DNA sequence: GTGGCTGCAAATGTTTTGCATCCGT
DNA sequence: ACGGATGCAAAACATTTGCAGCCAC
């Protein structure tokens, strides 16, 4: 929460960028809705509650900034929207990889931590000489509540 | 090739839909460029070579139809375009699952067959009571040629 | 005070839709 | 000849950009 905000402010200052109410508000919404995977429009609507003057363009520009700073990640669930989630990166920049379980009935997205993929990555490098540096894994199905 | 075309024509007739030159041409392009992962615009340009009168809207409508018939699959590689590939589904409807290796340098997409994911799916069902029915797996990295 | 940031509106790029016409059945 | 399919243009959609004014530094 405020740890992230302080970190954000610090990075902005280090880069000579300005700490604005809009930027802090957007980070706060993303941090508060950590598990929601919000679209830009949804972030816009949530920020407007506390800060009605904000423009959608500012939301997009701030999302772009947060992506570049690796404070958030983008997720595409195949529904035509780009969604964003608070980044769970280590201090050292190493990613806490998690996969997404997407419910085809209610649309809910649950995260799932696992490292079995690393074995598969090794297998790929062996068999195809393709050097894997990142992956994106989604499972579609039905959640406990919808079954 | 023509096996797919015949299958397509048969399905169209069964559903009371019309077999048109446009529909056959679009299927042919997708079938010929099986490994290319084309965008709608790219399909449009390719079909225009043999059939210059075609409209982009027809391409989109036919893609939609082919998706519904599960003759093609859509792939989003994260570059903002929706791409389409010829479906490799069994007769029984069971998918020949393959994953995509996307080269971050040249953009080339290679397919990789593997069933290690099934273990991971079992693990998910055990741990979270989430019933998995499909998945979408992409690996990003650098291909042999680019290394 | 200055330059970066913002809000607005206009532009962009992809995909969808309305409608008159066309063509497969 | 009927009704679905097509081509065109306009609309819809998310996202980006240009610019004058504003505010953090």
Q: Which of B81, B84, B101, B136 is the mutation pick for testing A, counting most A CBs within 10 A?
A: B136
User: Looking at the structure, do residues B109 and B83 belong to the same domain, yes or no?
Assistant: no
Q: Rounded to whole angstroms, how far apart are CA atoms A101 and A87?
A: 17
User: Looking at the structure, do residues B86 and B29 belong to the same domain, yes or no?
Assistant: yes
User: Looking at the structure, do residues A69 and A83 belong to the same domain, yes or no?
Assistant: yes
User: Looking at the structure, do residues A66 and A123 belong to the same domain, yes or no?
Assistant: no
**Mean pLDDT calculated for residue range B128-139:** 91
How high is the mean pLDDT of chain B? 89
Alpha helices for chain A (secondary structure H): 2-14, 21-32, 40-50, 56-68, 116-128
pLDDT of residue A2: 63
Any strand D atom closer than 7 Å to B78 CB: no
Given a cut of 60, is residue B53 above it in pLDDT?
Answer: yes
CATH number of the domain enclosing B125: 3.30.1490.190
User: Looking at the structure, do residues B31 and B46 belong to the same domain, yes or no?
Assistant: yes
Tokens 């406990």 found at: A144
pLDDT of residue A93: 46
Give residue-wise pLDDT tens across range A51-104: 999 999 999 999 999 999 999 999 998 888 899 998 776 554 445 578 899 998
Given a cut of 60, is residue A107 above it in pLDDT?
Answer: yes
Binned at pLDDT 50, 70 and 90, residue A119 comes out as confident
Using alpha carbons, select from A133, A109, A139, A107 the residue that is nearest to residue A121. Answer: A133
Of residues B10 and A115, more confidence is placed in B10
Binned at pLDDT 50, 70 and 90, residue A113 comes out as confident
* Contact of A95 with A73, CB cutoff 8 Å: no
User: Looking at the structure, do residues B79 and B59 belong to the same domain, yes or no?
Assistant: yes
Percent of chain A with pLDDT strictly greater than 70: 93
Which residue approaches D25 most closely, CA to C1'?
A: A18
How high is the mean pLDDT of chain A? 89
User: Looking at the structure, do residues B88 and B132 belong to the same domain, yes or no?
Assistant: no
A33 carries a ligand binding annotation: no
User: Looking at the structure, do residues A13 and A58 belong to the same domain, yes or no?
Assistant: yes
User: Looking at the structure, do residues A33 and A84 belong to the same domain, yes or no?
Assistant: yes
Q: Rounded to whole angstroms, how far apart are CA atoms A19 and B2?
A: 62
The residue count for chain B: 147
Q: How many domains does chain A have?
A: 2
pLDDT of residue A142: 93
User: Looking at the structure, do residues A112 and A45 belong to the same domain, yes or no?
Assistant: no
DSSP string, B14-79: HTT----HHHHHHHHHHHHTTTT-EEHHHHHHHHHHH-TT--HHHHHHHHHHHHHTTSEEEEE-SS
Range of the domain at B114: 98-147
Q: Which residue of A has its CA nearest to B109?
A: A130
Give residue-wise pLDDT tens across range A10-29: 999 999 999 999 999 999 99
Residues 71-130, chain A: which have Cβ within 8 Å of B?
76, 78, 101, 103-104, 110, 112, 114, 116-117, 119-121, 123-124, 127-130
pLDDT of residue B93: 47
**Mean pLDDT calculated for residue range B25-51:** 94
pLDDT of residue B72: 94
User: Looking at the structure, do residues B73 and B105 belong to the same domain, yes or no?
Assistant: no
> Token pair for residue B65?
């139809």
Residues forming a β-bridge with B135: A139
Give residue-wise pLDDT tens across range B57-105: 999 999 999 999 999 999 998 888 899 998 776 554 456 678 899 998 8
User: Looking at the structure, do residues A44 and A66 belong to the same domain, yes or no?
Assistant: yes
CATH number of the domain enclosing B92: 1.10.10.10
The nt closest to A39 (CA vs C1′) is: D14
Given a cut of 50, is residue B8 above it in pLDDT?
Answer: yes
């Amino acid at each position: 929460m405020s740890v992230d905000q302080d970190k954000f402010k610090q990075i902005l200052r280090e880069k000579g960028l300005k700490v604005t109410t809009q930027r802090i508000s957007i980070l706060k919404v993303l941090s508060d809705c950590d598990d929601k995977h919000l679209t830009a429009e949804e972030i816009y609507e949530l920020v407007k509650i506390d800060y009605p003057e904000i423009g959608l363009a500012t939301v997009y520009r701030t999302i772009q900034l947060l992506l570049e700073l690796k404070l958030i990640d983008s997720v595409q669930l195949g529904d035509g929207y780009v969604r964003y989630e608070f980044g769970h990166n280590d201090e050292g920049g190493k990613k806490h990889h998690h996969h997404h379980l997407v419910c085809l009935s209610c649309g809910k997205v649950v995260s799932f931590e696992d490292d079995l993929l690393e074995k598969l990555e090794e297998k790929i490098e062996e068999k195809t000489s393709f050097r894997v540096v990142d992956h994106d894994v989604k499972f579609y199905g039905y959640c406990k509540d919808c079954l």
